[in-house]
Homo-oligomer: A and B are copies of this chain.
Amino acid sequence: MATLGLVEYQNASAEVRAVYDDIMTSRKTDYINNFWKALAHDPISLKRTWESVKQIMAPGALDSLTKELIYIAISASNQCGYCVASHTASARKQGMTDAQFAELMAVTGMANESNRLASGYQVEIDDRFKT
């Protein structure tokens, strides 16, 4: 169970409800996932984290699906089970196909492999890659 427990809507303060409402409106859903409920014991962190996520994940120079794919790649690299599960669900909602997921995993695996080859072989940065 989450360290501080989960704050359900009906037990939430007005401050927390305002964030929950904004999450539901922004995401066009009536569901608040456990991540937010676990954070909600600290309304300031809840609000700051949500505002950051909302700003960062909005479509911009990169579209929303690309951003979700990046989130999954990092979460898999970091072995964050919760984050892999929740962002895989989000990516599917945004249209991720099985073929895209499989290619995402292949890149994720390869990047993690080559990151270690580079450090293990002590490869120096090529002059032309120094910006």
Contacts and interface: CB of A to CB of B under 8 A. Distances in A.
Given A76-B120, A130-B1, A83 B60 contact: no
A121 B103 contact: no
A110 B12 CA distance: 25
Contacts of A41: 98, 102
Chain A at the B interface: SS class? helix
Contacts of A67: 103, 107
How many copies of this protein are present in the complex?
A: 6
A33 B57 CA distance: 27
Given A67-B103, A71-B111, A85-B125, 11 more contacts: A1-B131, A2-B124, A4-B102, A49-B109, A52-B52, A52-B110, A62-B69, A66-B69, A79-B79, A80-B119, A82-B125
Interface of A: 1-5, 31, 33-35, 38-39, 41-42, 44-45, 48-49, 52-53, 55-57, 60-62, 66-67, 69-86, 88-89, 97-126, 128-131
